[in-house]
Structure 1
């Protein structure tokens, strides 16, 4: 029975990651295939009849490359600036657009500082440590109420789903910057500490003093 249990667990460790990965890829491809409505109707009918999948990924990448190339030249920048100014004049829409644009600029800009540094912080109480990510620094009115000292805006993700978490502001002196990359830190969090950056760690337990 112990051998059967061991084989079952080994099989799960192999199959579960593959099934989840294939499921996520299938969802992504299916979602991107929705962009095929941009193609001529005859092409859409032909692709539907022949059940060709994955072209939505190529079409999406092509659109992103074209838009990125256009936005990188002088004329494209002028057009984007004009469009941005128009959108910001529309009530309600400008609030949503401004918030989303600010977040995307911070996350995807080459000069952004979000999720670029992994730190070690005490959370949710003193003496309990976890890994978090620096997203910036408090400013304006918030910084005025925090008092003396330099503070950092920190995102504390949950495990094993890092898309949920907590936004807190901590003193820089309370954050220990780690040498591991953001990718390594995310793997460490998602695996609940099983995948240790740099290889398996050996925990030495010191005997308590009598």
Structure 2
């Protein structure tokens, strides 16, 4: 009886987890963005009326929508001459502020790296033996190594980003000889799901007749874009 109760409780938690995560994200957006912007945008409304539960929720949602529209507008505007000019002026002002300029430049470099040709950041999902022979790790092919790394290793080396589980925003870089890298059929999205779930969510795959071959980098220039 206790085992059945435990299994039923765990099954209920699994069913409620997506809903709980959705509520958490919505509440976080409301607390961190909606509520402060509500106070800023609708300051002229009587506080007694504005803080009523129903009214406060509606105003928070409207405030979030205003922020989303504003950010979207900036994105569209940045594609035109006036927007680009405004961005340059803003970056010059930020560059004049000590400490803030270094933080801004670092974050901007990271964002530019991942936003420039997003499809070229993670080329494909690969498999390689790490940290020892017989143990495999799933990673993402980013590019073919060049320059000093390629010259001093004396081999064709592939750069592989290996995310951590279950938080894929951190990870480490492996530089592996190309012949030791196995190309996977799964998409980058499926590979990310597998990593985030800790291996619990495996993508469907129909067993092919051919065995996986070592990954081939057909266009090194595209990989390094």
- Shorter chain as denominator, the TM-score bin is 0.7 to 0.9
Q: Indicate conservation of the 8 Å contact 2:150/2:157, yes or no.
A: no
| Secondary structure of 2:7 counterpart | helix
* Counterparts of 2:75 and 2:170, CA distance in 1: 30
| Secondary structure of 1:41 counterpart | coil
State the TM-score, normalizing by the size of structure 1: 0.75
| Partner residue, 1:143 | 149
| Partner residue, 1:81 | 88
* Counterparts of 1:107 and 1:66, CA distance in 2: 21
Residue 113 of structure 1, aligned match among 95, 112, 120:
120
Residue 105 of structure 2, aligned match among 84, 88, 98:
98
| Secondary structure of 2:175 counterpart | strand
Deviation, 1:100, is 0.9
Deviation, 1:102, is 1.2
* Counterparts of 1:119 and 1:35, CA distance in 2: 44
Larger CA deviation: 74-83 vs 63-72: 74-83
* Counterparts of 1:56 and 1:116, CA distance in 2: 38
* Counterparts of 1:116 and 1:32, CA distance in 2: 35
1:193 has 2:194 as partner:
no
| Partner residue, 2:161 | 155
The 1:55–1:3 alpha-carbon spacing in structure 2 relative to 1, beyond 3 Å, is same
Q: Indicate conservation of the 8 Å contact 1:135/1:154, yes or no.
A: yes
* Counterparts of 1:167 and 1:3, CA distance in 2: 45
Q: Indicate conservation of the 8 Å contact 1:155/1:166, yes or no.
A: yes
Structure 2 matches for 1:1-210, cutoff 5 A? 1=1, 2-33=3-34, 34-43=36-45, 45=47, 47-49=50-52, 50-52=55-57, 53-88=60-95, 90-110=97-117, 113-136=120-143, 143=149, 146-198=152-204
Q: How many residues are paired up?
A: 200
State the TM-score, normalizing by the size of structure 2: 0.71
**Structure 1 residues not aligned, in runs of 5+:** 202-210
Larger CA deviation: 156-165 vs 168-177: 168-177
Larger CA deviation: 50-59 vs 89-98: 89-98
Deviation, 1:183, is 2.0
Q: Root-mean-square deviation (CA), in Å?
A: 3.1
* Counterparts of 2:111 and 2:46, CA distance in 1: 32
